[in-house]
Amino acid sequence: MLQTNLKHVESEAQYSEILQNNENVIICCGRMGPMCVPVYDAMEDLEKEYTNVKFYDMEFDIPDAHVIRNLPECRGFMGLPFTVYYKNGKVVTATTSIQNYEQIKEILEREF
Amino acid sequence: MESNQYDVIVIGAGPAGLTAGIYSSRAKIKTLIIDTGTIGGQMILTFEIANYPGVESTTGYQLAKTMKNQAKSFGCDILSNVRLTDVEFDGKIKSVTINEKDKYTAKAIIWATGGRSRMLNVPGEKKFKGRGISYCATCDGDFFQDKEIVVIGGGNSALEEAVALTKYASKVTIIHEFDHFQAFEHAVLEAKKNPKISFIMESHVQEFTGNTSLEKVRIKNLKTSKITEMSIDGAFIFVGYEANNDFLKDKEIKLNDWNEVVVNSNYQTSVEGVFAAGDALAKRYRQITTAVADGTIAALNAIEYINRK
Ligand SMILES: Cc1cc2nc3c(=O)[nH]c(=O)nc-3n(C[C@H](O)[C@H](O)[C@H](O)COP(=O)(O)OP(=O)(O)OC[C@H]3O[C@@H](n4cnc5c(N)ncnc54)[C@H](O)[C@@H]3O)c2cc1C
């Protein structure tokens, strides 16, 4: 499990349930690595501001993370973390590698 | 005292800024640390730290967390992920504005904004970041299993990471602008004896191209001006660091030709009451230990300055 203060997605079933029951969702799939930690950190801060969005992380190396790793929107991604934004269960944007607070905020403003 | 009035404001929450915060808040000096990013600075970018005395091998994330908790335990306020939008350093009372609207004042400032990896700044670099271009071998190396990659740079990081990447990649080509390396001899030897590594010297990368992912790199030989294109799966860029002092350009604080802050023996900048510490300084060795030492000295001098006023 990732050592963050975000809620964790731990299985494919939980992933499906989250997407089914929430309009706006962001999931950051990574490790506790240098490019990932700043994204979780920014998400923890943004979570307080964007109460209309559900914020989650997911460990990249668990088998069930294939739900993110194999998304068509993540094809060609070669930098951790993979951060995916969903509206009504559909992917609206996905980013690869480190993003800062402002970049994530800009996507939240635009998409949700 | 009003909530936005502080004795000292530390700008930057890397090891230098956090140490300054630990010392000043422990001395009952009301302290605020602000950071545009994640608390911990470059420590967060470091997987393993094995040379910080008193702590057996740890992760940068852990060390950053411990320093942050220490600073907070002494009453230091910390704001991260904010935008620094204005500073006024002249005069007795200094001010710092974040997110264009929130103004904080203090009697002294400690500037500890550290440094960042230099980018190549060539076409395609931004587009393919995370799509073949990486700045972290430990993070992204395993995406390049049996792939052909280039490593750009000639310092210790470039050569050490090139060797580390041979664990995954089938072929690693180091591209460097000079005919010799700046790295330590042992790092150069290690790279030269690795059968998977080859070298393109005295050459500049001019452009990265591809469709959705990186496919090619265009290289210019600086001696012959000949341009070649090379098909590759990935590129790792390690071309050094630069100080995060862009904000100080055209401000009253003296910088040297490399944009680094110049301080006196008390770690005071050219402006009274404004001290500086860590990688943002003009100095030779940039390590966590040296940043921590700078932060200590800057804080002790700032405390003395405040108490004298
Ligand atoms: C990959 C890597 C591995 C390393 N490994 C080691 C190691 O093993 N051992 C070792 O001793 N050293 C290591 N170092 C070097 C060490 O991390 C740095 O020397 C040290 O972190 C410098 O500390 P600092 O506090 O001066 O700056 P930084 O750590 O750079 O922190 C500066 C902080 O200031 C913030 N900031 C920047 N601009 C602004 C602004 N305008 N307003 C507000 N905040 C701002 C940044 O977001 C950052 O958090 C490594 C560095 C890297 C990149």
Tokens of B196: 């998977």
Query: Is position B125 within any domain?
Result: no
* pLDDT tier, B2 (very low <50, low <70, confident <90, very high otherwise): low
Q: Is the CB of B187 under 6 A from ligand 1?
A: no
Shared domain for B39 and B70, answered yes or no, is yes
Shared domain for B59 and B108, answered yes or no, is yes
Please say which residue of B237, B270, B288 terminates a domain. Answer: B237
Shared domain for B229 and B245, answered yes or no, is no
Query: Is position B15 within any domain?
Result: yes
Please say which residue of B194, B209, B237 terminates a domain. Answer: B237
Mean pLDDT of chain B: 95
Shared domain for B222 and B271, answered yes or no, is no
Residue B1: pLDDT above 60? no
Q: Which residue range is the domain that position B252 belongs to?
A: 5-116+241-308
- Alpha-carbon span B71 to B82, nearest angstrom: 19
- Of B23, B42, B52, the residue with max ligand 1 atoms within 8 A of its CB, to mutate for a pocket test, comes to B42
- Alpha-carbon span B187 to A94, nearest angstrom: 38
Return the ligand 1 atom nearest residue B41 CA.
49
Report the CATH number at residue B95.
3.50.50.60
Strand order across the B274-276 sheet: B77-79, B31-34, B8-11, B108-111, B274-276
Shared domain for B22 and B73, answered yes or no, is yes
CA–CA min distance A75, chain B (Å) = 9
β-pairing, B77-79 vs B133-134, is: unpaired
Shared domain for B51 and B88, answered yes or no, is yes
Query: Is position B44 within any domain?
Result: yes
Shared domain for B202 and B263, answered yes or no, is no
| Interface predicted TM-score (ipTM) | 0.81
The CATH number for A7-111, chosen from 3.40.50.1220, 3.40.30.10, 3.40.1350.10, 3.30.460.10, is 3.40.30.10
- Alpha-carbon span A89 to B186, nearest angstrom: 53
Q: Is the CB of B247 under 6 A from ligand 1?
A: yes
Which pLDDT value is given to residue A1? 82
Query: Is position B21 within any domain?
Result: yes
Query: Is position B124 within any domain?
Result: no
B129 close to A (CB below 8 A) = yes
Q: Give per-residue pLDDT as tens, A43-91.
A: 999 999 999 999 999 999 999 999 999 999 999 999 999 999 999 999 9
Shared domain for B223 and B249, answered yes or no, is no
Tokens of A1: 């499990």
Check: CB of residue B76 under 8 Å from CB of residue B23. Answer: no
Which pLDDT value is given to residue A33? 87
The model carries a pTM of: 0.89
Query: Is position B122 within any domain?
Result: no
Query: Is position B261 within any domain?
Result: yes
Return the ligand 1 atom nearest residue B49 CA.
8
Domains contained in chain B, number: 2
Helix (H) or strand (E) holding A40, with range, is: helix A37-49
Residue A92's Cα: distance from chain center in Å? 12
Shared domain for B142 and B163, answered yes or no, is yes
A78 close to B (CB below 8 A) = yes
Start-to-end C-alpha separation, chain A? 28
Torsion angle of alpha carbons A16, A41, B245, B137, nearest 10°?
-60
Tokens of B53: 């005395």
Shared domain for B301 and B160, answered yes or no, is no
Per the listing, tokens 């956090």 go with B18
What are phi and psi for residue B263, nearest 5 degrees? Answer: -125, 165
Shared domain for B51 and B145, answered yes or no, is no
* pLDDT tier, B55 (very low <50, low <70, confident <90, very high otherwise): very high
What spacing in Å lies between the alpha carbon of B114 and ligand 1's midpoint? 5
Shared domain for B84 and B99, answered yes or no, is yes
Please say which residue of B207, B237, B267 terminates a domain. Answer: B237
Query: Is position B293 within any domain?
Result: yes
